[in-house]
Amino acid sequence: MSFWEQVFTVWRALLANKMRSLLTLLGVIMGVATIVLLSSLVGGGLQAIGHTVQAASGEDLIKVSVAPYNRKGEQDPPLDTTDMAAISKATGIGRSTVLPQLEVRQDAHADGKTMRVWVVGTNAEAVEFYQLELERGRFISSFDRDATAKVCVVGQEVARTLDKRGDGDLGYVTVGDSRFHVVGVLSGKPTLNVGGNMTWNAAVAIPDTTFVAWKGGRDVGTILVKANETARLQVRLPLLGQTVRAILLGRNHPAATLSIEGADGKREGERGFLRALQLLLYAVALMCLTVGGINIMNIMLVTVTERTREIGLRLALGARQKDIRSQFLFEAAAISGLGGLVGVLLGVSLGWVGSLALTHFLGFWPYTLDPVAVLIAFGSALGTGLLFGWYPAAKAARLQPIECLRYE
């Protein structure tokens, strides 16, 4: 029997029992569609995580801090502005940007309204460092920093709660016993932040020099270092962390209490969760393919029984056992292959629709299509058909011609 004759035979068998064929294909279709859909959504989710982390706090960012007490319970010197200056001037960090993390929780008051906010000490470099955007006004300038000016930029939640979104002058905000002139309002921003729990939406940003003078002392607690494009080529993030560590160890900060954390840690954790979820759901897809394979085996056994006289006639006319086995294996592979093709098309379509829906609700979820996942899904469908079609094909090949011709 030629290839096209086998194709015609399979097609005729599918059309002869449409509902049975559909139910047989359903398990394979669902399994393949699940694999393609999950690979698409998880791939988009990984890109969405990277986009959110970058939008929230920048890429290639390390956090440097010192524990207040060592293992003996003794207090170690904290990081201060001189440490930050030493890191900024070091040649080993390339052209990386160094910022202090100065933040404290305080109540802010304006026009009889009160809100619990994050007071953040920063400078003009924070705009690029954190990828901030302004809705109104301006950000903190170098002049504000040099003059220790009492000016501030407020986040979206602060502007809404304290009514600082009108036209004209933005007025003043009182934090603690200090009064700050509002010079700008930030655009909305994702709440994820590598530096800690602070969110720019609930922040009141003031010049870092003003913050130090307001709170007293030179301690900065935490220093953030972000590698720029040039530094990414000159020194990788782990090497950047090692360089910063060496600088601080040279300034008599004990290694036991020194902590340097990279921004990739949190992202890898989220990626690991998505990949674990992906593997779990792949197991569900495998179960769907297994059910589909069992259905194929069941239908092929029924087909062998229905076509017993045909098998006997072919054997009597000289067909070999391997010809009969090949015919039924081809039919099983053709059925599973058709189910795999439909499953791939369904998975691609659902992945596209799913990415649109998630983008609508979450703001950003790109559509991705992994060719490797598509090939694996389709190959798994074919493999399922061959695996579960082998026993019915072997059973058909072992039938005796005389008994087949006598079969009613």
Q: What is the mean pLDDT of residues 127-133?
A: 83
pLDDT of 108 = 92
pLDDT of 10 = 67
Q: Contact at 8 Å (CB) between 36 and 351?
A: yes
Residues contacting residue 220 through CB under 8 Å, at least 6 positions apart: 78, 79, 80, 81, 83, 84, 100, 101, 102
The last residue of a domain, from among 262, 291, 312: 262
Q: Calculate the average pLDDT of the chain.
A: 78
Bridging pattern class, strands 203-207 and 151-154: antiparallel
Whole-angstrom distance, CA of residue 385 vs CA of residue 121? 64
Same domain, 193 and 292: no
Q: Which two tokens stand for residue 161?
A: 């709660």
pLDDT at 280 over 80: no
Q: What is the mean pLDDT of residues 371-379?
A: 86
Helical segments of 307-370, H only: 308-316, 321-362
pLDDT of 195 = 45
Same domain, 98 and 210: yes
Tell me the per-residue pLDDT of 200-231, one tens digit each, with 9 for 90 and over.
889 999 998 899 888 776 677 788 887 665 44
Same domain, 130 and 114: yes
Same domain, 313 and 236: no
Q: What is the mean pLDDT of residues 323-328?
A: 79
Residue type, 281: L
Same domain, 286 and 324: yes
Q: Which two tokens stand for residue 5?
A: 């004759």
Three-class SS of residue 148? Answer: coil
Same domain, 327 and 222: no
Tell me the per-residue pLDDT of 74-91, one tens digit each, with 9 for 90 and over.
666 778 778 888 887 876
Most confident of 165-179, 268-282, 314-328: 165-179
Count of other CB atoms within 10 angstroms of residue 181 = 14
Whole-angstrom distance, CA of residue 390 vs CA of residue 382? 12
pLDDT of 231 = 47
Q: Which of 157, 183, 180 is nearest to 170 (CA)?
A: 183
Tell me the per-residue pLDDT of 146-172, one tens digit each, with 9 for 90 and over.
999 999 999 989 998 888 766 678 889
pLDDT of 182 = 93
Q: Which two tokens stand for residue 392?
A: 């019915």
Whole-angstrom distance, CA of residue 15 vs CA of residue 293? 20
pLDDT of 313 = 79
DSSP codes joined into one string, 153-191: EE-HHHHHHTT--SSS---EEEETTEEEEEEEEEPP--S
Domain that holds residue 73: 61-262
The last residue of a domain, from among 262, 278, 295: 262
Q: Contact at 8 Å (CB) between 119 and 140?
A: no
Question: How many folded domains does the chain comprise?
Answer: 2
Whole-angstrom distance, CA of residue 94 vs CA of residue 393? 68
Same domain, 292 and 234: no
The CA radius of gyration of the chain, in Å to the nearest whole number, is: 33
Whole-angstrom distance, CA of residue 223 vs CA of residue 65? 7
pLDDT of 6 = 65
pLDDT at 52 over 80: no
Residues contacting residue 320 through CB under 8 Å, at least 6 positions apart: none
CA distances for 43 relative to 53, 59, 127, 368, angstroms:
16, 19, 30, 6
pLDDT of 353 = 94
pLDDT at 263 over 60: no
pLDDT of 218 = 67
Residue type, 274: L
Packing angle, helices 18-57 and 3-16, rounded to 10: 100
Least confident window among 78-92, 239-253, 261-275, 379-393:
261-275
Tell me the per-residue pLDDT of 177-198, one tens digit each, with 9 for 90 and over.
899 999 999 988 755 444 445 7
pLDDT-derived band at 117, boundaries 50, 70, 90: very high
Q: Which of 305, 273, 290 is nearest to 388 (CA)?
A: 290
The last residue of a domain, from among 240, 262, 284: 262
Same domain, 164 and 287: no
Same domain, 359 and 227: no
Same domain, 400 and 348: yes
Same domain, 28 and 83: no
Same domain, 126 and 216: yes
H or E element that contains 100 = strand 97-110
pLDDT of 206 = 94
Q: Which two tokens stand for residue 200?
A: 């720019």
Whole-angstrom distance, CA of residue 10 vs CA of residue 53? 52
Length of the chain: 408
